[in-house]
């Protein structure tokens, strides 16, 4: 089985695809259950930083987390929860089994078009129905979401289900994926409308898992020639580094990109 791929023809066609599954009949509202991840190159996969082939950290996952917790500033880690620790570590660049997602399709498009050197490659936006992925969670986790009336977990909810990665993996012999919202660590996390996916196995590959359940998602291919128009429209809509990375670093990144010379390639 393979995931459905749709090739966007133009901006209007792209936005139609991104918002195509938003209508919720029972609510009478446009409230999508999909989350999004933008990739600058359509050839890239959904492998987390922990297990990327160029430098595989799977065998030292616990060592990484222990060292991060030990040497992080006292106020950097919110509490002793493993899940808050993972969120903070991912946020600051430590290799983890987490993948970044967003509820906003436009934020996903920003990350797909943030590097002009990648405008020569087709881009890709993954759209995953979280409500449907939850059907494959082990019963204790499904029951928790039903009780809370939520589609995604919080760190506190996950802590009630498992306090260690080993306990989390032991919840089911079948591989599964959970989505959880991090604590509001800073304005960057809030403005990016961010959440994480978490595979039950450090060796798990979300691409492969989704390929076996292709009705849960779709891949929207963005042809390379369309990227510059998307970038310009996002800039006009203020979906930029100034908003998504508040502070002087984000301002500098925006200015360098926005006023930089246009590539001739």
> Domain map of the chain by residue range?
4-227
What share of the chain has pLDDT > 70, as a percent? 97
Whole-prediction pTM: 0.93
Q: CA distances (Å), 2 to each of 27, 217, 220, 233, in order?
A: 31, 10, 14, 31
Q: What is the average per-residue pLDDT within 185-196?
A: 88
Q: What is the DSSP string of 81-148?
A: -HHHHHHHHHHTT---SEEEEES-HHHHHHHHSS-GGGTTS-EEEEEEEHHHHGGGS-HHHHHHHHHH
Q: What is the average per-residue pLDDT within 196-204?
A: 93
Closest residue by Cα to residue 80 from 66, 61, 98, 99: 66
What share of the chain has pLDDT > 90, as a percent? 76
pLDDT tens string 119-164? 999 999 999 999 999 999 999 999 999 999 999 999 999 999 999 9
pLDDT tens string 201-256? 998 889 999 999 999 999 999 999 999 999 999 999 999 999 999 999 999 999 99
Alpha-carbon distance of 194 to 184, in angstroms, equals 9
């Amino acid at each position: 089985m393979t995931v459905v791929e749709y090739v966007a023809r133009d901006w209007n066609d792209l936005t139609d695809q991104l918002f195509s599954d938003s209508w919720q009949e029972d609510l009478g509202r446009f409230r999508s259950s999909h989350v999004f991840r933008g990739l600058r190159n359509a050839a890239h996969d959904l492998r987390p930083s922990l297990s990327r082939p160029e430098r595989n950290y799977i065998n030292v996952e616990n060592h990484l987390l222990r060292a991060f917790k030990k040497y992080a500033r006292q106020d950097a880690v919110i509490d002793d929860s493993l899940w808050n620790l993972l969120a903070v570590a991912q946020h600051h660049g430590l290799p983890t089994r987490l993948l970044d997602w967003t509820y906003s399709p436009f934020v996903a498009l920003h990350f797909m078009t943030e590097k002009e050197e990648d405008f020569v490659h087709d881009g890709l936006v993954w759209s995953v129905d979280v409500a449907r992925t939850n059907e494959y969670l082990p019963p204790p986790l499904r029951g928790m979401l039903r009780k809370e009336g939520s589609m995604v977990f919080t760190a506190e909810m996950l802590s009630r289900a498992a306090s260690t990665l080993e306990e989390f993996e032991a919840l089911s012999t079948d591989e599964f994926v959970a989505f959880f919202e991090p604590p509001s660590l800073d304005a960057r996390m809030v403005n990016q409308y961010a959440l994480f996916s978490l595979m039950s196995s450090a060796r798990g590959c979300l691409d492969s898992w989704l390929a076996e359940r292709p009705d849960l998602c779709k891949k929207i291919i963005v042809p390379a020639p369309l990227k510059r128009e998307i970038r310009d429209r996002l800039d006009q809509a203020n979906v930029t580094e100034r908003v998504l990375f508040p502070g002087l670093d984000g301002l500098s990144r925006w200015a360098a990109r926005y006023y930089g010379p246009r590539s001739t390639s």
